Amino acid sequence: MKIVDLLNEISICLDAKAADKEEAIRLAVDLMDKSGNIRDKKAYLNSVFKREEEGTTGIGEGIAIPHGKGTSVGAPGLSAMLLPDGVDFDALDGGLVNLIFLIAAPETKDNIHLEVLSRLSMLLMDDAFTANLRSAKTASEFLGYIEQAEAAKFNQQAKEPKAGADGYRLLAITACPTGIAHTYMAAENLENKAKDRGVTIKVETDGSGGVKNALTKEEIEKAECIIIAADTNIEMSRFDGKRVVVAKVADGIHKADQLLDRALGGSAAIYHHSGKDSKDTDLGGSESAGRKAYKYLMNGVSHMLPFVVGGGILIALAFLFDNYEINPANFGMNTPLAAFFKTVGGQAFGFMLPVLAGFIAMSIGERPGLAVGFVGGVLASGGYTFNNLMNYSEASPVSSGFLGALLAGFVGGYIIVLLRKVFDRLPASLEGIKPVLLFPVCGILLMGVFMIGVNPIVGALNNGLNEFLASMSGTSKIVLGIILAGMMSVDMGGPFNKAAYVFGTAQLTVADAGPEQFQIMAAVMIGGMVPPLAIALCTTFFKNRFTENERKSGIVNYVMGLSFITEGAIPFAASDPLRVLPSCIIGSAVAGALSMLFSCGLRAPHGGIFVIAVITNPVLYLLALLAGSVIGALLLAVLKKPKVQA
């Protein structure tokens, strides 16, 4: 089967005009419908739009390859359009698109058509070929260029010599989520660039039709380096001990030379497989110490959050449903309903520190680290020291709180790493008792000695921090609100955002937490709510600053912002960081400052607008949220230039 078998003259338009990306796709679908390949035009159109939501198919250089797959397609097919005036397609290089190939792929076990489509993707990497297509005057001439290029390209490939006795110098794997176009384009570009340098390379493609050109064990052993250009998980265990370069599939299309430079320069790190899973993209030893520490911390935080959010909101509800006048000293437990929420929520919230420490330790020392870290978190929370072991009920505990649990997690993980090295000297016959006896007993023992010894020191730091926060008032309190709320917008889910959020939730764990701690959590949450809301407002009232797709996404950001899901702003920040980030940071900082100024407090660590009833001074809190969002939207409107006509 050839490319021209999937494309006929009736599905080609050489002088199309479209106002935006959506209209261009609709025109291409109309052309596809003329070929008779589509059973359900509406369903197919929806599948194409759904694919665009995952990421643009505008690959750069004025080319786009939108595609849809499903039961709505009766037979594989192509349609093609030239748009002389170009159209904004949200392309990866930011340029206008003037050449579009639309792909229709059916849900069948026979994937021969995918091989044909991969051929088209490869041909589109040839500038001379695309120039010919753009110069075509008739549909027949357009098809003729495709047929000529296909014959020349793939007949030549069939005659190219294979690797010699020493194997391929480089190996590569390309893969994209849909596995239709980008996978093969990245492979083609890597092959072409390597050929220009006289370097032998073999590229495995993990596409919709399955793995093609699979790398063999012998080829891997002989290769100098392996390039992974993929946006999906691939089997990495086979590359243990080899130099590996890992990048996005888009880098294989646009930055092949840089990838080859890294692979040939000897600077690529040696990959060491963790043994946890055969299908991963963990960079192992190639990651910096800071990046590893961040990943370990986030593993603990991600497992901790369900306990914090669930327990914290239930505790907040307990205060909402209680009557302060009954017994002020027992507020939160005065009524049966309040007592129920407070008890259940308190038990869930109590797992926060042990779970944080346990899963940090587990990410470092694997499964044996879980028990060691968990015990360390309990000891940190309980404030056990050598002075109060015998008379804990009488002596004052010195809880090291969140800082202690954090320390326990990292120490617990590395205790297991140390024990693993020590026990490696034992006979192989004792291998089975390591995880069930030696690791837990020795690990928990060492963790107990360590935490009970350092609790007084870390506890003093923890108490000092809490006292400092409790003493903050006036200007200093407002400055803290500006910093924490602004951090929530710096990277929207990244290290700065998580650092501010973890700091805010940690204040809720403080024994006898007061208004100061609750005000910190309120400022943190409002800082995370502003970015999506600011973008949503800007897309609503300043439409000409955004594309049609961006305006549609803006509506969704209303819901995400009100739900305290900062990540809704990420696509906008990624596409235009120099304008979006400053606007959002300033808007969040203003909201955080006002929240602190109004003394708004929050006992729940999440919930957004849905926990407004448990926020202290809720009306003023909403006013602060509105002010920050409006300021962020106005700044964004000023910084962004008009893009399209609304």
- Please list the active-site residues: 67, 176
Q: CB of 122 within 8 A of CB of 188?
A: yes
Burial class (CB within 10 angstroms; exposed 0-12, middle 13-18, buried 19+) of 393 = exposed
Longest dimension (CA), the chain: 93
Are residues 52 and 24 in contact, defined by beta-carbon separation less than 8 angstroms? Answer: no
User: What's the half-sphere exposure (Cβ side, CA atoms, 13 Å) at 310?
Assistant: 12
DSSP annotation of 324? T
d(CA 364, CA 408): 12
Q: How many CA atoms lie within 13 A of 118 on its CB side?
A: 28
Report the DSSP beta bridge partners of residue 99.
63, 82
Dist. CA 484–CA 473, nearest whole Å? 15
Cβ-based burial of 392 (10 A; exposed 0-12, middle 13-18, buried ≥19): middle
Q: CA–CA separation, 617 vs 18, rounded Å?
A: 51
Q: Are 78 and 104 in contact (CB under 8 A)?
A: yes
Query: What is the Cβ-side half-sphere exposure of residue 485, based on CA atoms within 13 angstroms?
Result: 33
Query: How far is the C-alpha of 170 from the C-alpha of 225, rounded, in Å?
Result: 5
Which conformational region is residue 205 in: left (phi greater than 0), alpha (psi within -120 to 50 degrees), or beta? Answer: beta
Token match 């596809």: residue?
32
Structure tokens at 158: 């069939």
Concatenating the DSSP letter of every residue in 239-288 gives GTTSBEEEE-HHHHHH-HHHHHHHHHTT-SPBP---SS-SB----GGGS-
One-letter identity of residue 624: A
Q: Where are the alpha helices (DSSP H) in 509-547?
A: 515-541
Q: What is the rounded CA–CA span in Å between residue 135 and residue 9?
A: 16
For residue 265, what are its two tokens?
């320069």
